Amino acid sequence: MRILTEIHRSRGINTAGKTVHRAAVRAVVLRGRELLMVHSANMGDYKFPGGGVDFGETHEQALARELREECGASLLGVDGELGAVIEYDHAEEAEYDVFKMTSHYYLGVFQMS
């Protein structure tokens, strides 16, 4: 897995401290010259569709579920992993120092429902 970048969401994060990990998947979906993005009401910006990988799910299963939930799209296939982005933030759980999320980006082929 190629690391595309690392993002520190807050200052003073102890990345060597006790860490809670979260895996996520994101789809990079092209249709001609158009790029599929979803608006994040939480952050007020646009992002690639996707989200957390649930226990027991493969990355492809999670990607299919997230595309269906967020866009009403059906995943037809994955054309390979583009890389990963690692994000660090302060953990919400008192027993942890840092929250680390690794988002795996995949080139996706989809069909709108």
**Closest by CA position to 36, among listed 87, 86, 108, 84:** 108
**Closest by CA position to 36, among listed 5, 65, 6, 72:** 72
Spatial separation of the C-alpha atoms in residues 103 and 30, rounded to whole Å: 19
Spatial separation of the C-alpha atoms in residues 36 and 73, rounded to whole Å: 10
pLDDT for 1-42, tens place per residue?
A: 899 999 999 999 999 999 999 999 999 988 788 888 999 887
Domains, in order of start, for the chain: 3-112 (3.90.79.10)
pLDDT for 81-94, tens place per residue?
A: 999 999 999 999 99
